[in-house]
Amino acid sequence: MRPEQLSYHIKYSYILSVRSYDPFELQKLQALLKSGSAVAELAAAGEKLLADQAAAGVGAAATKAHLQEVFQYALWGNKTDLSMLVDASKLDVNASVKSAAQGAGAAGALILDQFEDVWAGLESKAAGGRVDVILDNAGLELYTDLLLADFLIESGLADQVHLHGKLLPWFVSDTMEKDLEIVLAALEGAAPPEGMQARRLDLFLASSRRPAPPLSAAQVQQQQWGPVQRLAQRWRGHLAAGRWVYKDHAFWTTPFPFWWMQQVSPDLYADLAASKLLIFKGDLNYRQAHMPTPANASLHDAGACVTGVSPSLKLAFDCRWPLDAPFTDALGPFRPAPLVTLRTLKADVMAGLAPGQGAALDKVDSQWQVNGKFGVVQYAP
Ligand SMILES: O=P(O)(O)OC[C@H]1O[C@](O)(CO)[C@@H](O)[C@@H]1O
Protein backbone atom coordinates (compact mmCIF):
# COMPACT_ATOMS: atom_id res chain seq x y z
CA MET A 1 0.00 0.00 0.00
CA ARG A 2 1.41 3.43 -0.96
CA PRO A 3 1.77 6.04 1.87
CA GLU A 4 -1.09 8.19 0.55
CA GLN A 5 -3.32 5.12 0.27
CA LEU A 6 -2.43 4.15 3.82
CA SER A 7 -3.26 7.63 5.11
CA TYR A 8 -6.59 7.54 3.29
CA HIS A 9 -7.29 4.07 4.72
CA ILE A 10 -6.57 5.29 8.27
CA LYS A 11 -8.84 8.32 7.86
CA TYR A 12 -11.58 6.13 6.42
CA SER A 13 -11.34 3.67 9.35
CA TYR A 14 -11.50 6.55 11.81
CA ILE A 15 -14.55 8.02 10.12
CA LEU A 16 -16.33 4.66 10.26
CA SER A 17 -15.57 4.32 13.97
CA VAL A 18 -17.22 7.68 14.86
CA ARG A 19 -20.08 7.62 12.36
CA SER A 20 -22.84 7.57 14.96
CA TYR A 21 -21.45 10.54 16.90
CA ASP A 22 -23.08 13.88 16.11
CA PRO A 23 -22.31 16.88 18.36
CA PHE A 24 -24.98 18.90 16.54
CA GLU A 25 -27.80 16.45 17.23
CA LEU A 26 -29.60 18.77 19.62
CA GLN A 27 -29.50 21.78 17.28
CA LYS A 28 -30.76 19.65 14.42
CA LEU A 29 -33.60 18.45 16.65
CA GLN A 30 -34.56 21.97 17.63
CA ALA A 31 -34.54 23.23 14.04
CA LEU A 32 -36.84 20.46 12.84
CA LEU A 33 -39.23 20.84 15.76
CA LYS A 34 -39.69 24.50 14.88
CA SER A 35 -40.33 23.68 11.22
CA GLY A 36 -43.57 21.75 11.82
CA SER A 37 -45.87 24.19 10.04
CA ALA A 38 -43.57 24.41 6.99
CA VAL A 39 -43.49 20.59 6.91
CA ALA A 40 -47.32 20.39 6.98
CA GLU A 41 -47.71 23.09 4.34
CA LEU A 42 -45.28 21.42 1.95
CA ALA A 43 -46.86 17.99 2.48
CA ALA A 44 -50.27 19.41 1.50
CA ALA A 45 -48.73 21.09 -1.57
CA GLY A 46 -46.89 17.87 -2.48
CA GLU A 47 -50.03 15.77 -2.10
CA LYS A 48 -51.96 18.14 -4.36
CA LEU A 49 -49.17 18.04 -6.90
CA LEU A 50 -49.25 14.22 -7.02
CA ALA A 51 -53.04 14.24 -7.35
CA ASP A 52 -52.74 16.71 -10.27
CA GLN A 53 -50.04 14.52 -11.76
CA ALA A 54 -52.29 11.43 -11.54
CA ALA A 55 -55.21 13.36 -13.05
CA ALA A 56 -53.06 14.64 -15.93
CA GLY A 57 -51.85 11.11 -16.74
CA VAL A 58 -48.30 10.70 -17.92
CA GLY A 59 -48.35 13.85 -20.10
CA ALA A 60 -44.92 15.40 -20.43
CA ALA A 61 -46.13 18.99 -19.93
CA ALA A 62 -47.71 18.27 -16.55
CA THR A 63 -44.76 16.18 -15.39
CA LYS A 64 -42.34 18.93 -16.40
CA ALA A 65 -44.30 21.62 -14.52
CA HIS A 66 -44.58 19.44 -11.42
CA LEU A 67 -40.90 18.50 -11.47
CA GLN A 68 -40.04 22.17 -11.72
CA GLU A 69 -42.13 22.86 -8.64
CA VAL A 70 -40.44 20.18 -6.51
CA PHE A 71 -37.05 21.39 -7.75
CA GLN A 72 -37.97 24.76 -6.28
CA TYR A 73 -38.86 23.20 -2.91
CA ALA A 74 -35.50 21.43 -2.80
CA LEU A 75 -33.63 24.55 -3.94
CA TRP A 76 -35.12 26.92 -1.37
CA GLY A 77 -34.95 24.24 1.32
CA ASN A 78 -31.21 24.89 1.07
CA LYS A 79 -31.76 28.21 2.81
CA THR A 80 -31.93 26.21 6.03
CA ASP A 81 -28.68 25.20 7.59
CA LEU A 82 -27.40 25.59 11.10
CA SER A 83 -24.54 27.84 10.00
CA MET A 84 -26.94 30.51 8.66
CA LEU A 85 -30.64 30.09 9.40
CA VAL A 86 -30.87 28.24 12.68
CA ASP A 87 -34.58 28.79 13.17
CA ALA A 88 -36.18 27.14 10.17
CA SER A 89 -39.61 28.36 11.31
CA LYS A 90 -38.64 31.68 9.69
CA LEU A 91 -38.29 29.99 6.32
CA ASP A 92 -41.33 30.03 4.09
CA VAL A 93 -40.32 27.81 1.19
CA ASN A 94 -43.51 28.67 -0.72
CA ALA A 95 -42.81 32.40 -0.32
CA SER A 96 -39.24 31.88 -1.55
CA VAL A 97 -40.55 30.05 -4.62
CA LYS A 98 -42.97 32.90 -5.37
CA SER A 99 -40.48 35.73 -4.84
CA ALA A 100 -37.90 33.90 -6.97
CA ALA A 101 -40.39 33.71 -9.83
CA GLN A 102 -40.68 37.51 -9.77
CA GLY A 103 -37.03 38.08 -10.69
CA ALA A 104 -34.03 39.61 -8.89
CA GLY A 105 -35.02 41.83 -6.01
CA ALA A 106 -33.80 42.60 -2.53
CA ALA A 107 -35.75 39.62 -1.15
CA GLY A 108 -33.66 37.26 -3.25
CA ALA A 109 -34.22 35.45 -6.50
CA LEU A 110 -33.30 32.66 -8.82
CA ILE A 111 -30.40 34.22 -10.70
CA LEU A 112 -29.70 31.31 -13.03
CA ASP A 113 -32.35 28.79 -14.02
CA GLN A 114 -31.36 26.00 -16.39
CA PHE A 115 -34.32 23.79 -15.56
CA GLU A 116 -35.27 23.67 -19.26
CA ASP A 117 -31.93 22.00 -19.98
CA VAL A 118 -32.41 19.55 -17.11
CA TRP A 119 -35.79 18.62 -18.53
CA ALA A 120 -34.45 18.27 -22.08
CA GLY A 121 -31.72 15.96 -20.73
CA LEU A 122 -34.25 13.81 -18.87
CA GLU A 123 -36.61 13.68 -21.85
CA SER A 124 -33.83 12.46 -24.10
CA LYS A 125 -33.49 9.40 -21.88
CA ALA A 126 -35.88 6.51 -21.31
CA ALA A 127 -38.36 6.75 -18.42
CA GLY A 128 -37.34 4.99 -15.21
CA GLY A 129 -33.66 4.46 -14.48
CA ARG A 130 -31.73 5.98 -11.63
CA VAL A 131 -31.41 9.54 -10.33
CA ASP A 132 -29.01 10.47 -7.51
CA VAL A 133 -29.38 13.23 -4.94
CA ILE A 134 -26.18 14.31 -3.18
CA LEU A 135 -27.76 15.55 0.02
CA ASP A 136 -26.81 18.58 2.07
CA ASN A 137 -28.46 19.63 5.35
CA ALA A 138 -30.67 17.49 7.61
CA GLY A 139 -34.06 18.70 8.85
CA LEU A 140 -36.23 20.85 6.61
CA GLU A 141 -33.81 20.74 3.65
CA LEU A 142 -33.66 16.93 3.79
CA TYR A 143 -37.45 16.89 3.91
CA THR A 144 -37.68 19.02 0.74
CA ASP A 145 -35.11 16.74 -0.94
CA LEU A 146 -37.27 13.74 -0.05
CA LEU A 147 -40.30 15.48 -1.61
CA LEU A 148 -38.25 15.70 -4.80
CA ALA A 149 -37.06 12.09 -4.53
CA ASP A 150 -40.66 10.99 -3.96
CA PHE A 151 -41.89 12.84 -7.04
CA LEU A 152 -39.15 11.30 -9.19
CA ILE A 153 -40.42 7.84 -8.23
CA GLU A 154 -44.16 8.56 -8.25
CA SER A 155 -44.01 10.27 -11.66
CA GLY A 156 -42.05 7.36 -13.19
CA LEU A 157 -39.15 9.63 -14.09
CA ALA A 158 -36.95 7.27 -12.05
CA ASP A 159 -37.25 3.69 -10.76
CA GLN A 160 -34.62 4.33 -8.14
CA VAL A 161 -33.30 7.35 -6.29
CA HIS A 162 -29.92 7.02 -4.59
CA LEU A 163 -29.53 9.39 -1.64
CA HIS A 164 -25.94 10.27 -0.73
CA GLY A 165 -25.41 11.43 2.86
CA LYS A 166 -22.33 12.09 4.96
CA LEU A 167 -20.50 9.96 7.52
CA LEU A 168 -19.83 13.02 9.69
CA PRO A 169 -21.67 16.28 10.44
CA TRP A 170 -18.88 17.92 8.43
CA PHE A 171 -20.41 21.36 7.91
CA VAL A 172 -22.58 21.21 11.04
CA SER A 173 -26.01 20.20 9.81
CA ASP A 174 -25.03 17.70 7.10
CA THR A 175 -27.37 14.75 6.68
CA MET A 176 -26.17 11.49 8.25
CA GLU A 177 -27.92 8.12 7.99
CA LYS A 178 -29.58 8.46 11.38
CA ASP A 179 -30.99 11.88 10.33
CA LEU A 180 -33.06 10.20 7.65
CA GLU A 181 -34.50 7.85 10.28
CA ILE A 182 -35.09 10.77 12.67
CA VAL A 183 -36.99 12.77 10.04
CA LEU A 184 -39.14 9.77 9.09
CA ALA A 185 -39.90 8.94 12.71
CA ALA A 186 -40.82 12.57 13.43
CA LEU A 187 -43.21 12.68 10.48
CA GLU A 188 -44.89 9.42 11.48
CA GLY A 189 -45.87 10.66 14.94
CA ALA A 190 -48.82 12.84 15.92
CA ALA A 191 -48.83 16.54 14.98
CA PRO A 192 -46.29 18.74 16.76
CA PRO A 193 -45.59 19.80 19.35
CA GLU A 194 -46.63 16.52 21.00
CA GLY A 195 -45.98 13.94 18.31
CA MET A 196 -42.90 15.28 16.66
CA GLN A 197 -41.32 16.26 19.93
CA ALA A 198 -41.99 12.91 21.58
CA ARG A 199 -40.61 10.85 18.71
CA ARG A 200 -37.59 13.07 18.25
CA LEU A 201 -36.80 13.11 21.93
CA ASP A 202 -37.09 9.33 22.15
CA LEU A 203 -34.51 9.01 19.44
CA PHE A 204 -32.29 11.68 20.92
CA LEU A 205 -32.35 10.10 24.34
CA ALA A 206 -31.69 6.66 22.92
CA SER A 207 -28.58 7.92 21.16
CA SER A 208 -27.21 10.35 23.76
CA ARG A 209 -28.41 8.96 27.13
CA ARG A 210 -28.60 12.57 28.32
CA PRO A 211 -31.61 14.09 30.11
CA ALA A 212 -34.22 15.60 27.81
CA PRO A 213 -33.34 19.27 27.20
CA PRO A 214 -36.09 21.93 27.03
CA LEU A 215 -37.13 22.31 23.39
CA SER A 216 -39.78 24.40 21.72
CA ALA A 217 -41.83 23.21 18.77
CA ALA A 218 -44.28 24.58 16.24
CA GLN A 219 -47.99 24.05 16.93
CA VAL A 220 -49.75 22.22 14.07
CA GLN A 221 -53.40 21.14 13.86
CA GLN A 222 -53.85 17.37 13.83
CA GLN A 223 -55.84 17.45 10.57
CA GLN A 224 -52.98 19.31 8.84
CA TRP A 225 -50.66 16.47 9.80
CA GLY A 226 -52.50 13.74 7.83
CA PRO A 227 -50.63 14.42 4.55
CA VAL A 228 -47.34 14.36 6.46
CA GLN A 229 -48.04 10.93 7.96
CA ARG A 230 -49.12 9.57 4.58
CA LEU A 231 -45.87 10.81 3.08
CA ALA A 232 -43.82 9.13 5.79
CA GLN A 233 -45.63 5.85 5.21
CA ARG A 234 -44.98 5.96 1.46
CA TRP A 235 -41.34 6.94 2.01
CA ARG A 236 -40.79 3.96 4.33
CA GLY A 237 -42.16 1.87 1.46
CA HIS A 238 -39.65 3.41 -0.98
CA LEU A 239 -36.79 2.48 1.34
CA ALA A 240 -38.08 -1.02 2.07
CA ALA A 241 -38.60 -1.79 -1.62
CA GLY A 242 -35.20 -0.39 -2.66
CA ARG A 243 -36.75 2.43 -4.68
CA TRP A 244 -34.76 4.73 -2.41
CA VAL A 245 -31.22 3.68 -1.54
CA TYR A 246 -29.23 5.54 1.12
CA LYS A 247 -25.42 5.70 0.72
CA ASP A 248 -22.59 7.46 2.55
CA HIS A 249 -19.19 7.15 0.92
CA ALA A 250 -16.21 8.49 2.90
CA PHE A 251 -15.07 10.60 -0.05
CA TRP A 252 -17.75 13.21 0.66
CA THR A 253 -16.13 14.09 3.99
CA THR A 254 -12.54 14.30 2.86
CA PRO A 255 -10.92 17.59 1.79
CA PHE A 256 -10.57 16.30 -1.77
CA PRO A 257 -12.25 18.33 -4.49
CA PHE A 258 -14.61 16.50 -6.80
CA TRP A 259 -12.02 17.15 -9.51
CA TRP A 260 -10.03 14.34 -7.87
CA MET A 261 -12.83 11.85 -7.30
CA GLN A 262 -11.97 9.62 -10.22
CA GLN A 263 -8.40 9.21 -8.89
CA VAL A 264 -9.13 9.10 -5.16
CA SER A 265 -12.40 7.12 -5.12
CA PRO A 266 -12.85 5.44 -8.50
CA ASP A 267 -15.57 3.21 -6.99
CA LEU A 268 -17.74 6.24 -6.15
CA TYR A 269 -17.08 7.85 -9.54
CA ALA A 270 -18.09 4.63 -11.32
CA ASP A 271 -21.19 4.37 -9.16
CA LEU A 272 -22.28 7.93 -10.00
CA ALA A 273 -21.69 7.21 -13.70
CA ALA A 274 -24.60 4.73 -13.56
CA SER A 275 -27.03 7.58 -12.86
CA LYS A 276 -29.00 9.47 -15.47
CA LEU A 277 -28.98 12.66 -13.40
CA LEU A 278 -26.96 13.78 -10.39
CA ILE A 279 -28.67 16.42 -8.27
CA PHE A 280 -26.12 18.22 -6.08
CA LYS A 281 -27.65 20.05 -3.16
CA GLY A 282 -26.29 23.13 -1.48
CA ASP A 283 -23.41 25.50 -1.27
CA LEU A 284 -20.66 23.22 0.00
CA ASN A 285 -21.21 20.60 -2.70
CA TYR A 286 -20.97 23.42 -5.24
CA ARG A 287 -17.72 24.65 -3.76
CA GLN A 288 -16.31 21.13 -3.69
CA ALA A 289 -17.18 20.62 -7.31
CA HIS A 290 -15.17 23.75 -8.09
CA MET A 291 -12.04 23.13 -6.06
CA PRO A 292 -9.08 22.12 -8.18
CA THR A 293 -5.98 22.22 -6.03
CA PRO A 294 -2.96 24.21 -7.15
CA ALA A 295 -0.74 21.64 -5.44
CA ASN A 296 -1.64 19.18 -8.16
CA ALA A 297 -1.94 21.54 -11.08
CA SER A 298 -0.22 19.04 -13.34
CA LEU A 299 -3.10 16.63 -12.81
CA HIS A 300 -5.72 19.12 -13.96
CA ASP A 301 -4.93 22.66 -14.96
CA ALA A 302 -7.12 25.06 -12.99
CA GLY A 303 -7.14 27.51 -15.89
CA ALA A 304 -8.90 30.77 -14.99
CA CYS A 305 -9.37 29.80 -11.36
CA VAL A 306 -7.81 32.21 -8.85
CA THR A 307 -6.91 30.60 -5.51
CA GLY A 308 -5.90 31.72 -2.04
CA VAL A 309 -8.80 34.10 -1.39
CA SER A 310 -9.12 33.22 2.27
CA PRO A 311 -6.66 32.75 5.13
CA SER A 312 -8.16 29.41 6.18
CA LEU A 313 -6.60 26.21 4.93
CA LYS A 314 -9.98 24.88 3.84
CA LEU A 315 -10.88 27.93 1.87
CA ALA A 316 -7.40 28.34 0.43
CA PHE A 317 -8.32 25.56 -1.95
CA ASP A 318 -11.47 27.33 -3.09
CA CYS A 319 -11.48 28.96 -6.48
CA ARG A 320 -12.77 32.37 -7.37
CA TRP A 321 -13.73 31.81 -10.97
CA PRO A 322 -14.59 34.78 -13.14
CA LEU A 323 -18.36 34.90 -12.67
CA ASP A 324 -18.92 34.37 -16.38
CA ALA A 325 -16.45 31.47 -16.74
CA PRO A 326 -18.24 28.49 -18.31
CA PHE A 327 -19.72 26.15 -15.71
CA THR A 328 -18.14 23.18 -17.49
CA ASP A 329 -14.67 24.76 -17.07
CA ALA A 330 -15.31 25.03 -13.35
CA LEU A 331 -16.38 21.38 -13.18
CA GLY A 332 -13.08 20.34 -14.77
CA PRO A 333 -12.77 16.60 -15.22
CA PHE A 334 -15.67 15.84 -12.88
CA ARG A 335 -18.33 14.66 -15.34
CA PRO A 336 -19.51 11.19 -14.31
CA ALA A 337 -23.08 11.86 -15.53
CA PRO A 338 -25.32 14.84 -16.37
CA LEU A 339 -25.58 16.97 -13.24
CA VAL A 340 -27.56 19.84 -11.81
CA THR A 341 -26.83 21.92 -8.73
CA LEU A 342 -29.65 23.31 -6.58
CA ARG A 343 -27.93 25.87 -4.42
CA THR A 344 -28.54 29.07 -2.53
CA LEU A 345 -25.33 31.09 -2.59
CA LYS A 346 -23.48 31.23 0.73
CA ALA A 347 -19.87 31.45 -0.46
CA ASP A 348 -18.28 33.42 -3.26
CA VAL A 349 -17.54 30.51 -5.57
CA MET A 350 -19.59 30.98 -8.71
CA ALA A 351 -19.24 30.39 -12.42
CA GLY A 352 -21.57 30.31 -15.40
CA LEU A 353 -23.32 33.69 -15.08
CA ALA A 354 -23.95 35.92 -18.10
CA PRO A 355 -21.34 38.66 -18.76
CA GLY A 356 -22.21 41.71 -16.65
CA GLN A 357 -24.71 39.81 -14.48
CA GLY A 358 -22.47 39.93 -11.41
CA ALA A 359 -22.12 43.74 -11.60
CA ALA A 360 -25.89 44.08 -11.99
CA LEU A 361 -26.47 41.88 -8.94
CA ASP A 362 -23.97 43.94 -6.90
CA LYS A 363 -26.34 46.90 -7.35
CA VAL A 364 -29.34 44.87 -6.14
CA ASP A 365 -27.63 43.39 -3.06
CA SER A 366 -23.93 43.72 -2.27
CA GLN A 367 -24.09 40.43 -0.33
CA TRP A 368 -25.77 38.39 -3.06
CA GLN A 369 -22.94 35.86 -3.23
CA VAL A 370 -22.97 34.97 0.45
CA ASN A 371 -26.29 35.73 2.14
CA GLY A 372 -28.22 32.64 1.01
CA LYS A 373 -31.02 34.69 -0.56
CA PHE A 374 -30.11 33.99 -4.18
CA GLY A 375 -30.37 30.64 -5.87
CA VAL A 376 -29.24 28.75 -8.95
CA VAL A 377 -30.43 25.73 -10.90
CA GLN A 378 -27.29 25.07 -12.90
CA TYR A 379 -26.89 22.18 -15.33
CA ALA A 380 -24.09 20.41 -17.15
CA PRO A 381 -25.07 17.70 -19.67
O1 LIG B 1 -25.19 23.91 3.87
P2 LIG B 1 -24.62 24.44 2.63
O3 LIG B 1 -25.63 24.98 1.70
O4 LIG B 1 -23.70 23.46 1.96
O5 LIG B 1 -23.76 25.69 3.04
C6 LIG B 1 -22.52 25.59 3.62
C7 LIG B 1 -21.92 26.97 3.57
O8 LIG B 1 -22.20 27.66 4.75
C9 LIG B 1 -21.01 28.26 5.24
O10 LIG B 1 -20.51 27.44 6.26
C11 LIG B 1 -21.28 29.63 5.80
O12 LIG B 1 -21.87 30.42 4.87
C13 LIG B 1 -20.07 28.23 4.04
O14 LIG B 1 -18.73 28.29 4.42
C15 LIG B 1 -20.45 26.95 3.39
O16 LIG B 1 -20.07 26.89 2.04
The pLDDT tens digits for 22-65 are 767 777 777 777 888 889 999 999 999 999 888 877 668 889 99
Atom 14 of ligand 1, residue of closest alpha carbon: 347
Find, among 330, 341, 284, 280, the residue nearest to 305 by Cα.
330
Q: What is the ipTM of this complex?
A: 0.95
Over the Cα atoms of the chain, what is R_g?
20
Which protein residues are within 6 Å of ligand 1, measured from CB? 78, 81, 83-84, 136-137, 171, 282-284, 287, 346-347
Assess contact for 118 and 379: CB atoms under 8 A.
Answer: yes
Atom 5 of ligand 1, residue of closest alpha carbon: 283
Model-level pTM?
Answer: 0.86
By DSSP bridging, strand 339-344 and strand 160-164 are: unpaired
Domains of the chain, first to last: 3-380 (3.40.50.10880)
- Pick the atom of ligand 1 nearest to 343's CA: 3
User: Mean pLDDT of all residues in the chain?
Assistant: 80
Assess contact for 123 and 67: CB atoms under 8 A.
Answer: no
User: Counting beta carbons within 10 angstroms of the beta carbon of residue 28, is it exposed (0 to 12), middle (13 to 18) or buried (19 or more)?
Assistant: buried
Please tell me the distance between residue 226's alpha carbon and the centre of ligand 1 in angstroms.
33
Read off the pLDDT of each residue in 4-13 and give the average, rounded to a whole number: 51
How many CB atoms within 10 Å of residue 226?
15
Read off the pLDDT of each residue in 368-379 and give the average, rounded to a whole number: 93
Alpha helices in 78-139 (DSSP H): 93-101, 115-123
Comparing 184 with 86, the larger pLDDT belongs to 184
- Pick the atom of ligand 1 nearest to 285's CA: 4
Reported as a single tens digit per residue, the pLDDT across 234-266 is 999 999 999 999 999 999 988 788 888 999 999
CA atoms in the 13 A half-sphere facing the CB of 44: 12
Comparing 242 with 18, the larger pLDDT belongs to 242
Q: What is the best residue among 27, 80, 83, 341 to mutate for testing ligand 1's pocket, by most ligand atoms within 8 Å of CB?
A: 83
Atom 12 of ligand 1, residue of closest alpha carbon: 346
CA 359 to CA 120: how far, in whole Å?
30
Q: CA angle, 138 as apex, 223 and 27 as ends, to 5°?
A: 90
Assess contact for 163 and 245: CB atoms under 8 A.
Answer: yes
Assess contact for 30 and 193: CB atoms under 8 A.
Answer: no
